[in-house]
Amino acid sequence: MKEDAYVAGQIERALHGDPRTHELGIRVEADGDDVVLRGQVASEERRRRVAQVAGEQAPGLTVRNEVSVTEVLPPEQPEVLEASS
Amino acid sequence: MIRVAAVGDVHLAPDIRGRIRPHLAGIGEQADVLLLAGDLTQHGTVPEAEVVAGEFADLGIPVVAVLGNHDYQCDSERQITDLLRQSGMTVLDGTGVELDLPGGRLGVAGGKGFGGGFPHRCASEFGEPQMKAFVRHSRLLAEGIGKALRDLSADFRVALTHYSPVAETLAGEPPEIYPFLGSYFLAEAADSANADLCIHGHAHAGSECGTTPGGAPVRNVAQPVLKRAYAVYCLGEPGSQCAEPQPAG
């Protein structure tokens, strides 16, 4: 059985390089038969694809997808900056 | 008083077309210019750039952008740049632009920038050719941005990059990856021109606010950090106030 750190590294490399994802901000933790994905993506579809690509790299393991979809809220009050020069 | 709207890391693609657009209605009431801090696309393809062009078209205010590392993924950065320019955006690549706005003359200079790290914890141009090339690339990009900033003759100067100029706005990211998220060369470039504001993205888990060693405010406007469609920063005399903002659409 592969060490947890190598499993996590392999899944992260796949999430970075797979053209279905190209997601660099997902943190993968592997612990025995369990894999947990954490981070943020821009849509529910991208969240699903992250789990799909991770699952392909971890056959037989249980992938728990805790990735969330980033909110896009309306702008808030402007911030006034004092001139530095 | 100049009102600068900014957002980065929108990572647009056809699957999320229209994600930002509804919040851009009426942006001209909120801001005088919109800055886009790179990673405009997810995979760096031309069809994605078409989505970007559509999302930020016809806002009624100038749009100034730099590319990010995602925009380079498919080696189409030149086509992406050309497409965005044809749509009316200004795309900076070690260059600057000056805009006459109602509140004064704004100079924006910038480019993607690159990594390498921050004082005491950074790579240097030493040893293997690959390491020298990595750091040299970062240094040369920052030097170009610094020159472009110093060449500006404007009331206010803004440095716009994708990578971060300071470690402070990376807080929340694992410290081990800071050297891949920014370089102090960029802060040095901004401070060499007494920049009034540094805008960057790239660090999705970072923090919004920081300061360069020379005292310039730094704002990480990565959309996952802001969780808003954009932020607005007002440059002006100390103590002066922005106009009362209108409700955003």
ipTM of the complex: 0.89
Span B27-56, pLDDT tens digits? 999 999 999 999 999 999 999 999 999 999
Domain ranges, ordered by start, for chain B: 2-235
At residue A23, the pLDDT reads: 96
Which domains are delineated in chain A?
Answer: 4-69 (3.30.1340.30)
Which residues, other chains included, contact A82 with Cβ-Cβ below 8 Å and sequence gap of 6+? B238, B239
Selecting from B5, B156, B227 the residue whose C-beta is nearest the C-beta of A70 gives B227
Binned at pLDDT 50, 70 and 90, residue A18 comes out as very high
DSSP-derived 3-state class of residue A38: strand
Is A77 touching B (CB cutoff 8 A)?
Answer: yes
Indicate yes or no: CB of A78 within 8 angstroms of CB of B216: no
Q: Is residue B76 a contact partner of residue B44, using CB atoms and an 8 Å limit?
A: yes
Residue B158 has pLDDT above 50, yes or no: yes
Domain B2-235 in this protein, CATH class = alpha beta
Residue B244 has pLDDT above 80, yes or no: no
User: Can you tell me the distance from the alpha carbon of A77 to that of A68, in angstroms, rounded to the nearest whole number?
Assistant: 26
Computed over every residue of chain B, the mean pLDDT equals 94
Q: Is residue B179 a contact partner of residue B197, using CB atoms and an 8 Å limit?
A: no
Is A44 touching B (CB cutoff 8 A)?
Answer: no
Q: Is residue B218 a contact partner of residue B6, using CB atoms and an 8 Å limit?
A: no
At residue B245, the pLDDT reads: 44
Closest Cα in chain B, distance from residue A38 (Å):
11
At residue B237, the pLDDT reads: 66
User: Can you tell me the distance from the alpha carbon of B197 to that of B221, in angstroms, rounded to the nearest whole number?
Assistant: 12
Please compute, for residue A26, the number of CA atoms within 13 A of its CA located in the half-sphere on the CB side: 34
Residue B87 has pLDDT above 60, yes or no: yes
Q: Chain A contacts of B232, Cβ < 8 Å?
A: 75, 78-79
